[in-house]
Structure 1
Amino acid sequence: MANRYWCGECSFKTPWRGEPEGLRLQIKHYAEKHPGTPPGGQVETRRRSSGKRNGYLLLAAVVLVLLTVVAACPH
């Protein structure tokens, strides 16, 4: 699972990172751009949806096998 931290003071947002790295980047941003302001804003969470990718991969494999079988059959 990856998080993206949005600044509550400006339009800055961190890249998608794990929680410790994203939080560190947000704190660094606040220290540099908004000194004296406690970090705030939103946290956006992205869950990897590998099921859809695996489904397409499986479909492509089935099509490839069927094409191989059809090509190997005598006409």
Structure 2
Amino acid sequence: MAFRYRCGECRFHTGWSTESQVEDSAVAHYAECHPHLLPGGSVEVNRKNPDSLGCLPMIGIALLLILIIASCEY
């Protein structure tokens, strides 16, 4: 999944990134632009992440295992 941070004090927001990168950007933004406030704002989750493969890798692994099992000789 991809995440994006939106500042609670101004119009700043990050691009879509990993959760840890968004958190680091939020802390850095507050330290630079709002030094006397505790970090706040909100984090959005992109459920339609175009880079995500969804369950496709799990389906591929399952089909591969079925193929391996079917080709084994006893």
TM-score range, shorter chain: 0.5 to 0.7
After superposition, the C-alpha distances for 1:2-46 in whole angstroms (9 at most, x for unaligned) are 100000000000111100001000100000000021111111100
Q: Which runs of 5+ in 1 are unaligned?
A: 52-75
Query: Which structure: greater helix fraction?
Result: 1
Q: CA RMSD in A?
A: 1.6
* TM-score, scaled relative to structure 1: 0.62
Q: Provide the rounded CA distance (Å) in 1 between the counterparts of 2:36 and 2:14.
A: 20
Q: Which residue of 2 aligns with 1:19?
A: 19
Q: Which runs of 5+ in 2 are unaligned?
A: 54-74
Looking at structure 1, the residues matched to 42 and 15 of structure 2 have their Cα atoms a distance apart, in angstroms, of 13
For 1:17 and 1:38, locate their aligned partners in 2 and report how far apart those are by CA, in whole Å.
22
Identical columns (%): 49
Give the structure 2 partner of residue 44 of structure 1.
44
User: TM-score normalized by structure 2?
Assistant: 0.63
Instruction: Determine helix, strand or coil for the equivalent of 1:23.
Output: helix
Aligned residue number for residue 29 of structure 1: 29
Distance in 2 separating the partners of 1:15 and 1:38: 21
Which of the two has higher C-alpha Rg?
1
- State the AA in 1 paired with 2:35: P
